[in-house]
Amino acid sequence: MTLGKQTDGLMRHLRSKGISIEGSKQKKELLTMGYYHGYKGYRFIKNSRNPIAYTDFEQVVAVYSFDMNLKSLFYPHIMTIETALKNYTLDTLVSFGKLDLDYAFKRFLDDYKSETPNTPAYNKKMKDRLTLRKKIDNEISYKFPKNKIITHFLHNGDSIPLWALFEVLDMGSFGLFLKCLNQPIRIKNCNNLKLTHNSMVTDGNLVQDIIFCLKELRNSVAHNNVVFDCRFAGNTHAANSVKTYIGVETGITNINFTFIVDYFILIILLLKKLGKTKTELRKIIRNFKEETETLRQAIPPSIWSSIVGTNINSKLASLDSYI
pLDDT tens for the chain, 323 residues long, are 345 579 999 999 999 999 999 999 999 999 999 998 889 999 999 999 999 999 999 999 999 999 999 999 999 999 999 999 999 999 999 999 999 999 999 999 999 999 999 999 999 999 999 999 999 999 999 999 999 999 999 999 999 999 999 999 999 999 999 999 999 999 999 999 999 998 887 899 999 999 999 999 999 999 999 999 999 999 888 999 999 999 999 999 999 999 999 999 999 999 999 999 999 999 999 999 999 999 999 999 999 999 999 999 999 999 999 99
Residues in CB range of 209: below 8 A, 6 or more apart: 238, 239, 241, 242
- Report how many domains make up the chain: 1
Distances 210 to 13, 174, 176, 194, 207 between C-alpha atoms, Å: 43, 11, 12, 13, 5
Instruction: List the domain range (segments joined by +) for residue 316.
Output: 53-322
| Any domain includes 103 | yes
Please answer whether residues 85 and 224 qualify as being in contact, where contact means their C-beta atoms are separated by less than 8 angstroms: no
What span, in angstroms and rounded, lies between the C-alpha atoms of 209 and 199?
18
What length is written for the chain? 323
Q: Distance between the two ends of the chain, CA-based, in angstroms? A: 57
| Any domain includes 37 | no
| Any domain includes 276 | yes
| Any domain includes 18 | no
| Any domain includes 24 | no
DSSP string, 13-47: HHHHTT-B--HHHHHHHHHHH-IIIIIHHHSBSSS
What span, in angstroms and rounded, lies between the C-alpha atoms of 177 and 267?
21
> Shortest CA distance to 193 belongs to which of 268, 87, 110?
87
> Shortest CA distance to 162 belongs to which of 98, 107, 109?
98
Confidence (pTM): 0.95
| Any domain includes 6 | no
| Any domain includes 30 | no
| Any domain includes 21 | no
